[in-house]
């Protein structure tokens, strides 16, 4: 079997390794770093990521270790402008799971070890060749020892400064935001909201964001005027206190900082995620504003999207063309995430007093509408991610509100779609002799367990990652769809 070489054991490389391992694919995963990050970096695991983790039966340890955030408040001065609650969204996980990235990586690493795979640490990818037949990768250990590894596929999960992306010469287009930002993970007293709610304060000087990490511990984010230094300066605890006093409601006291950092926002993305036998995922493919905590989640979902396709190709079940859907699907999502996070950042950091006033009035009006609240919550939690223009989309039943490419919400008390050890499509249909024949004919691709029909006489075919592939009123279009995928 062809080996998949994963470069980078951050949250994205680890997610991909776990998915491929559960599908029985031979995996090597390397990382230059001697140990995983000890920083909290990405703090939120959103609902859609939890649903996708659940397919491998992996969400429980994360839920046990994390803290549930249930709502976000927008506040301008003393006035509550909006309150977006997550409890109405249709998912088994109606919350943002607050969990430091160091913990997320620890739990993913533990899961990977349960498949008998260890991260090869202090191993660096130096260079590689990418031919239609395979990859030759030059790896170097900390002692200088070099190895040339032949692999079937190379997965670049090596972060924002990706060696894989640089070696491919893939343009990483976009820009760096001029403002400096302050990040502080601190202990704090006097938080005015329930500990399960985040607060975004729009102040005339800029934005102040307070996220609960767990009771008594918070992440504080704020934009600052550009310092004009080469690197953004590391803030002091006094600076954090001053920002809270100026932009917050007052009465909050910070102490015992856990992590203080300065950063600048880059919005950059590649347009091609697939380069022959090489793929880019996570920060190697896209970086953007941390507003909305989308970065790590988007990267992990790149991994969920690619893993089942690659596993079916490596197992020799599907044609290699299946992999061509990775770029249009995930690059499309990346573009939307860049736009969404950029927009939230721009809105929060408006400086013009007239624009600020207009923003506050408009936001108050819009966020009082339940439909706007729902849309915002679905975007934030990434439940809105869909692939409406995917080349993988097949036929659609006329009048059916569920269109190909849409997420099919998991149903409580049913095994999640794609939960087996081989990636398989799920069929929602009544059992008829024709349906029984279809299951037999495509046993390599179809889950043998039928799901209840979504509507009378309708058949819905759902991908292993829980998005609708096609719908029809007979088995013929479903069979044609599956035949096209088979090798």
Ligand X SMILES: Cc1cc2nc3c(=O)[nH]c(=O)nc-3n(C[C@H](O)[C@H](O)[C@H](O)COP(=O)(O)OP(=O)(O)OC[C@H]3O[C@@H](n4cnc5c(N)ncnc54)[C@H](O)[C@@H]3O)c2cc1C
Return residues touching ligand X (CB under 6 A): 7-13, 30-33, 41-43, 101, 124-125, 157-159, 163, 183, 261, 263, 282-283, 290, 293-297, 299
Instruction: Find the shortest distance in angstroms from Cβ 435 to ligand X.
Output: 41
- With respect to ligand X, which residue has the nearer C-beta, 152 or 290? 290
- 3-state DSSP call for residue 308? helix
Nearer to ligand X, 53 or 439 (CB): 53
Q: What is the dihedral of CA 347, 348, 349, 353, to 10 degrees?
A: 80
216: left (phi over 0), alpha (psi -120 to 50) or beta: left
**Which is closer to ligand X, CB of 156 or CB of 206?**
156
Min separation Cβ 62 and ligand X, Å: 15
Q: Which residues pair with 87 in a beta bridge?
A: none
Residue 271: count other Cβ atoms within 10 Å of its Cβ. 13
Cβ closer to ligand X: 234 or 432?
234
d(CA 441, CA 427): 13
Measured from the CB atom, the residue of 32 and 455 that comes closer to ligand X is: 32
Min CB(226)–ligand X separation in Å: 17
| 19 within 8 A of 308, measured Cβ to Cβ | yes
Count of beta carbons in the 10 Å neighbourhood of residue 64: 8
CB of 297 to ligand X, least distance (A): 6
Q: How far apart (Å, rounded) are the C-alpha atoms in residues 336 and 386? A: 11
Q: At closest approach, how far in Å is the CB of 10 from ligand X? A: 2
Question: Rounded to 5 degrees, what are φ and ψ at 469?
Answer: -90, -50
CA-CA distance, 307 to 115, in Å (whole number)? 16
Nearer to ligand X, 232 or 394 (CB): 232
- Taking the complex as a whole, the smallest distance from the CB of residue 460 to ligand X amounts, in Å, to 32
Q: What is the widest separation between alpha-carbon atoms in the chain? A: 73
């Amino acid at each position: 079997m062809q080996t998949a070489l994963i470069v980078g054991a951050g949250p994205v490389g680890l997610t991909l390794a776990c998915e491929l391992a559960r599908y029985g694919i031979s995996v090597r995963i390397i990382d230059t770093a001697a140990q995983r990050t000890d920083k909290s970096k990405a703090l939120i695991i959103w609902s859609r990521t939890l649903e996708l983790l659940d397919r491998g039966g992996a969400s429980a340890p994360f839920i046990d270790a994390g803290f549930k955030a249930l709502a976000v408040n927008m506040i301008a001065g003393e006035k509550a402008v909006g309150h977006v609650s997550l409890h109405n969204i249709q998912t088994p996980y109606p919350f943002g799971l607050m969990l430091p990235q160091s913990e997320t990586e620890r739990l993913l690493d533990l899961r990977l070890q349960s498949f008998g795979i260890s991260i090869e640490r202090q191993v660096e990818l130096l260079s590689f060749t990418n031919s239609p037949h395979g990859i030759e990768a030059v790896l170097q250990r900390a002692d200088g020892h070099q190895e040339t590894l032949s692999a079937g596929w190379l997965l670049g999960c090596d972060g924002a400064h990706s060696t894989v992306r640089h070696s491919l010469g893939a343009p990483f287009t976009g820009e760096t935001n001029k403002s400096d930002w302050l990040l502080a993970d601190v202990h704090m007293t006097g938080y005015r909201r329930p500990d399960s709610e985040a607060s975004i304060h729009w102040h005339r000087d800029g934005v102040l964001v307070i996220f609960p990490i767990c009771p008594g511990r918070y992440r504080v984010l704020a934009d600052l005027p550009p310092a004009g230094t080469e690197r953004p300066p590391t803030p002091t605890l006094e600076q954090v206190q001053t920002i809270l006093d100026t932009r917050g409601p007052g009465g909050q006291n910070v102490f015992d900082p856990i992590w203080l950092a300065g950063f600048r926002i880059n919005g950059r993305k590649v347009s091609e995620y697939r380069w022959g036998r090489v793929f880019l995922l996570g920060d190697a493919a896209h970086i953007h504003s941390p507003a909305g905590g989308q970065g790590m989640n988007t990267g992990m979902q790149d991994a969920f999207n690619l893993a089942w396709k690659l596993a079916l190709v490596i197992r020799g079940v599907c044609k290699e063309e299946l992999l061509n859907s990775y770029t249009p699907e995930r690059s499309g999502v990346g573009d939307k995430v860049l736009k969404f996070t950029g927009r939230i950042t721009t809105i929060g950091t408006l400086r013009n007093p007239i624009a600020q006033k207009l923003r506050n009035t408009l936001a108050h009006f819009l966020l009082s509408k339940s439909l706007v609240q729902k849309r915002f919550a679905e975007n934030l939690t990434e439940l809105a991610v869909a692939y409406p223009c995917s080349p993988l989309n097949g036929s659609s039943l006329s009048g059916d509100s569920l269109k190909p490419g849409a997420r099919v919400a998991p149903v409580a008390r049913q095994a999640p779609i794609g939960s087996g050890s081989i990636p398989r499509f799920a069929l929602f249909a009544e059992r008829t002799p024709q349906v029984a024949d279809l299951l037999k004919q495509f046993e390599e691709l179809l889950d043998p367990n039928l799901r209840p029909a979504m509507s009378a006489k309708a058949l819905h075919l759902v991908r292993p990652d829980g998005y609708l592939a096609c719908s029809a009123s007979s088995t013929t279009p479903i069979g044609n769809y599956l035949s096209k995928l088979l090798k």
